[in-house]
Amino acid sequence: MKRFLIPLALFLVLVGFLAVGLNRDPHEVPSPLVGKPAPAFTLTRLEGANQQFSPTDMRGKVWLLNVWASWCVSCRAEHPLLVAFAKEGGLPIVGLNYKEVRGDGETDARQLSASDELALTRKRAAGWLAQHGNPYQLSVLDMDGRVGIDYGVYGVPETYLIDKAGVIRYKQIGPITPEALRDKILPLAQKLDKES
Amino acid sequence: MKRLLLSMLAVASLLGAPGAQAGDARPMAEDPQVEARLISISEELRCLVCQNESLAASRAELAQDLRREVRSQIQAGKTDAEIRDYLVSRYGDFVLYRPPVKPTTWLLWFGPFLLLAAAVFGLIRFLRQRAAQAPAPALSAADKAAAQALLAEAASSDSPPKNTP
């Protein structure tokens, strides 16, 4: 009897490993940036021609940085949730418009001049927000994706929860689901809000 | 023949004009040393979009951006290790095809040796146990007699079974 116990135990261990491994989404790579200060940047805003934004402008607030683009299909899925959340006055949301023109495979941005690309970016981004609603306090334009690399963006949409000291506390990879908002982001944000 | 001539002309014109524009391939001509380093670094890095492709091989949009980033860091004089550290600090150990040895990866690195050691230990124990086991009990007198009788009967038989040689 004992000789069957060892293979059975080994098999159960294997089943355990497989059960954990196969239930993981390999596309969700945990971000090393959680717990680290949000990388600094200064980018042009979507709203004003000469307005700039930098994460340090949000010091003292708990806020969300949401990476989006008009060509991003999953963004469309999460957008109504963000719009509703912003209406309730949940948290300030800053939009990082990621490679609006270059990320869209249909347009060859190399053939555009920098000012043409900026104009096209503004037109598309503003048009999309007008159509689907604007949950953002403001949006910034990351046309070449450099800031995206600094934030470890590899699939849009992604959302970062940043605390009052400018430290990233949570990263949502892929669209925000109502469950993630209710069970993770909101409780954590409330906790962070009490911290001084 | 015409084609050969044309290609020779093309080569000649490339050699004659070092700054020649050639679309995607243009950066290659800029500095072969930088490109060689770019390839050697990016072959060791994983593309996060197509996870089983290296950064050097992937045609994904993000891989192109990351190669451009690596290239600009090479040109800025960063060492290979600094560039790798930068990407790890942004995307995690997952970008490395060779995971570093640290407490969270000990099981990954040493697990196979642990299994091997356990298997060798098990085998030695099994062999020892088998060697230490008492030899098979001797034949009882009655059994021995019966066996001898059977053998004698087979030997004295005139017609042994056909299939025995």
* B70/A173 Cα distance (integer angstroms): 24
CB contact under 8 A, B90 and A29: no
pTM exceeds cut of 0.80: no
The ipTM estimated for the assembled molecules is: 0.81
In sequence order, the β-bridge partners of residue A96 are: A67, A140
* Least Cα separation, residue A153 to chain B (angstroms): 8
- What pLDDT does residue A129 have? 94
CA B151 to chain centre: 59
Predicted pLDDT at A150: 93
pLDDT of residue A89: 81
Tell me if chain A has a CB within 8 Å of the CB of B61: yes
Q: Confidence band (pLDDT; 50, 70, 90) for B17?
A: very low
- CA pair distance B33, B39, nearest whole angstrom: 10
* Residue count of chain A: 196
Average pLDDT of chain B, as a whole number: 80
DSSP string, A129-171: HHHH----SEEEEESSSHHHHHTT--SS-EEEEE-TTSBEEEE
Q: H or E stretch including A52? A: strand A52-53
The rounded distance, in Å, linking the Cα atoms of A180 and B106 is 32
pLDDT of residue A51: 87
Distance between CA A191 and CA A163 in Å, rounded?
A: 10
Residue B140: the pLDDT is 83
What residue in B sits closest to A151 (Cα-Cα)?
B90
Stretches where chain A sits below pLDDT 70 are: 109, 196
Contact A29 B91 (CB under 8 A): yes
For residue A194, what pLDDT is reported? 87
Q: Which residue of A has its CA nearest to B50?
A: A27
The residues, ordered by sequence, that sit 6+ positions from B86 with a Cβ below 8 Å of its Cβ are B73, B78
Bond prior to A30 in cis (omega within 30° of 0): no
